[in-house]
């Protein structure tokens, strides 16, 4: 067995004295050696997300795999509902393949937001969807295309956006003075504001001597096989550059592509203690940044690493911020100024009561 607190079978399986290892999701991260002896993974209970599936596959599909081919097996059953073919397993498999929840995609036509649906909720949603199919009810969902930068061909349209949203400083101020749930709700209703922000962000960093996300990429490129969360990922540049080396969870208010999870960063759909690295690259914006740090503390493993890049001028009380991190269970490894940014590297050295975490810039 290799599950929870019982990992007694791992070494026997790797050294060849055991042929079958029964494992839980505990084997999905931070485990090496299976690829040397195993080329078959049977998903008795499949994961809910494609990211979790990729983590499981990554235990075998990695450097050191000694077999020419791998087999990932997911048993699929079906039944008859009023004489019609119906399969929960097929729906779950489709969810993994499409990188979205069956419930949200089938019933509402939207990508998942926040915490994923429970199995019972998803089952009820799926039954409702089947009823809609029986009576021929149809829904048309129109999703806006998300892209950055926004086109600048029409000067009138460019001026209109500037007038509506303001310049980069004004947009930063608005996002920084709002609670994250307020910003999330507003951007969900009008994604153009998010696209305009990142269009201006692209323009601004063309003249920067240091670009924090590129510094983070350099740091990650020197390492391998980490589970990373990019809080406030924007254009998801980190995932784009290092996804072959690491497992990356990207979060933002708006998803620029299918690899990004749309959510309020104060509530990310990750299990406790599942991350090796949590990153905030100029994304500590909002009146409730304590909630972001609380999520980082919740999702990081013990000895997991927290990397923060933030504009120097955003810190009203730098020493107080550092002290807040230390009270949150983080040991500061490096605290330095890089051009106009402050870089803080810390390690989760202890687990504290999450409700007591209070950190302010």
Backbone angles phi, psi at 15, to 5 degrees: -85, 0
pTM, two decimals, is 0.62
Question: What is the Cα Rg of the chain in Å?
Answer: 23
Nearest-angstrom CA–CA distance, 347 and 354: 16
For all residues of the chain together, what is the average pLDDT?
85
Q: Poorest-confidence range of 64-78, 164-178, 233-247, 274-288?
A: 64-78
Percent of the chain with pLDDT over 90: 53
Q: Contact 346/330 with Cβ under 8 angstroms? A: yes
Alpha-carbon torsion 52, 54, 55, 57, what sign? positive
Q: Poorest-confidence range of 91-95, 234-238, 257-261?
A: 91-95
pLDDT tens figures, 313-350? 999 999 999 999 999 999 999 999 999 999 999 999 99
Q: What is the pLDDT of residue 97?
A: 62
Q: Which residue has the higher pLDDT, 123 or 354?
A: 354
**Token duo for residue 277:** 């690295």
Domains in the chain with CATH codes: 10-73 (no CATH), 79-135 (no CATH), 147-361 (3.40.50.150)
Q: Poorest-confidence range of 114-123, 144-153, 178-187, 205-214?
A: 114-123
Q: Which residue has the higher pLDDT, 128 or 289?
A: 289
Give SS3 for 124. helix
pLDDT band at 207 (very low <50, low <70, confident <90, very high): very high
Q: Can you say how many angstroms the Cα of residue 154 is from the centroid of all Cα atoms in its chain?
A: 35
């Amino acid at each position: 067995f290799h599950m929870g607190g019982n990992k007694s079978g791992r070494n026997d399986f790797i050294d060849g004295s055991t042929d079958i290892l029964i494992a839980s999701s505990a084997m999905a991260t931070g485990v090496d050696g299976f690829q040397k002896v195993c080329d078959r993974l049977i998903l008795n209970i499949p994961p809910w997300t494609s990211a979790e599936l990729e983590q499981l596959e990554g235990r075998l599909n990695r450097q050191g795999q000694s077999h020419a081919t791998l087999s990932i097996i997911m048993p699929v059953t079906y039944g008859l509902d009023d004489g019609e073919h119906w399969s929960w397993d097929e729906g779950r498999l489709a969810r993994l393949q499409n990188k979205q929840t069956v419930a949200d995609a089938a019933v509402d036509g939207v990508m998942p937001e926040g915490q994923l649906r429970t199995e019972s909720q998803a089952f009820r949603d799926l039954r409702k969807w089947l009823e809609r199919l029986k009576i021929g009810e149809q829904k048309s969902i129109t999703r806006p295309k998300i892209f950055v930068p926004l086109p600048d061909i029409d000067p009138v349209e460019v001026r209109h956006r500037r007038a509506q949203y303001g310049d980069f400083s004004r947009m930063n101020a608005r996002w920084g003075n709002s609670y994250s749930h307020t910003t999330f709700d507003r951007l969900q209703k009008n994604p153009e504001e998010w696209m305009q922000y990142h269009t201006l962000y692209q323009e601004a960093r063309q003249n920067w001597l240091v670009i924090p996300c590129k510094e983070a990429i350099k740091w990650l490129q020197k390492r391998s096989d980490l589970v990373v969360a990019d809080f406030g990922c924007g254009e998801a540049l980190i995932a784009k550059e290092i996804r072959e080396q690491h497992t990356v969870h990207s979060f933002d208010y708006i998803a620029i592509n299918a690899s990004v999870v749309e959510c309020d960063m104060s509530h990310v759909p990750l299990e406790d203690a599942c991350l090796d690295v949590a990153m905030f690259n100029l994304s500590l914006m909002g009146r409730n940044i304590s909630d972001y740090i609380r999520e980082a503390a919740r999702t990081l493993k013990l000895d997991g690493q927290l990397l923060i890049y933030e504009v120097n001028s955003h810190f009203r009380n730098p020493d107080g911020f550092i002290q807040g991190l230390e009270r949150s269970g983080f040991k500061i490894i490096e605290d330095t100024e890089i051009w106009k940014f402050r870089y803080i590297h810390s390690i989760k050295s202890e687990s504290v009561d999450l409700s007591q975490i209070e950190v302010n810039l």
